[in-house]
Structure 1
Amino acid sequence: MVTDTEGYVHIIEYLTEHLSLFENATNASSDETVMEVIEQELSEQIILVCSQNEDLTFNQRNMIIREVDSMLYDLQEILSAVVNNPVSANQREFIKEFATLIKNLFDTEIHNLPH
């Protein structure tokens, strides 16, 4: 649905262009890790996707969850050196923006589903 689209490739490229934000992190005084914030932000955006698209079937919702699991795996691979580090304010802001881009990608793909 989403992970095999050109849009997803662009989002991953966007992340890799901003890896220095994660590699050179300082001033991270949070109790939350980078991965915890990624999971939280993605969860919030996917809940929004599902609540805004009430006509999604059970199978479509399951497909979305599988796609998010796949994305989380990709993100863990890309950010493997820093996923357990405390998250900084700048990282949190970037992760929020990144999760919104993923939501927009789902919105686009859902809009293109046959009705």
Structure 2
Amino acid sequence: MVTNTDGYIHIIEYLTAHLNLFENSVHNTQAKSSVLEVIEQEMSEQIITLCNQNKTLAFNQRNTIIREADAIVYDLQEILSGVVNNSVTNEQLVFIKEFTMLIKNLFDTELHS
């Protein structure tokens, strides 16, 4: 659906252009969330919003979206493998929120084209 589109490639390129946000981050045992936890949370929220905004989606379409979201989270884990367990910083949190909104917009575009 979206992971094999040019739009997805551009979003991944956007992430790689901003990898410096994730460099030199450290794990803080007192922090509330890790990078991966925030990615999973934000992706979940965006997918729930997407499905709520598109109530006419068939069961199979929803399953495809969920599988694609899982694949995207896996890609992010691979790209950010060295820092996914580190504590998320405020800058990273802002970026992850923006990034997951871009992913949702990509799904929106695919659903309405």
Q: TM-score range by the shorter chain?
A: over 0.9
Q: Spell out, residue by residue over 1:15-66, the C-alpha distance to the aligned partner (whole angstroms, 9 max, x if none).
A: 0000010013369962200000000000000000000001100000000000
- In structure 2, give the amino acid aligned to 1:8: Y
Are the equivalent residues in 1 in contact too, given 2:3–2:72 (CA < 8 A)? yes
- CA RMSD, aligned part only? 1.5
Give the equivalent residue in structure 2 for 1:108. 109
Matched, 1:46 2:47: yes
- In structure 1, give the amino acid aligned to 2:86: N
Runs of 4+ residues deviating >2 angstroms: 24-30
Segments of 5+ residues of structure 2 without an aligned counterpart are none
Equivalences, count: 112
Q: Do the aligned partners of residues 87 and 28 (structure 1) sit closer, same or farther apart at CA in structure 2, a change above 3 Å counting? A: farther
Are the equivalent residues in 2 in contact too, given 1:2–1:106 (CA < 8 A)? yes
Give the equivalent residue in structure 2 for 1:8. 8
When normalised by structure 2's length, the TM-score is 0.94
Are the equivalent residues in 2 in contact too, given 1:45–1:100 (CA < 8 A)? yes
Tell me by how many angstroms 1:12 deviates.
0.3
| Percent of pairs with identical residues | 67
When normalised by structure 1's length, the TM-score is 0.93
Give the equivalent residue in structure 1 for 2:18. 18
Q: Spell out, residue by residue over 1:90-114, the C-alpha distance to the aligned partner (whole angstroms, 9 max, x if none).
A: 00000000000000000000102xx
Alpha-carbon separation, structure 2, partners of 1:29 and 1:10: 35
User: Tell me, what secondary structure is at the counterpart of 1:24?
Assistant: coil
Give the equivalent residue in structure 1 for 2:56. 55
User: Tell me, what secondary structure is at the counterpart of 1:12?
Assistant: helix
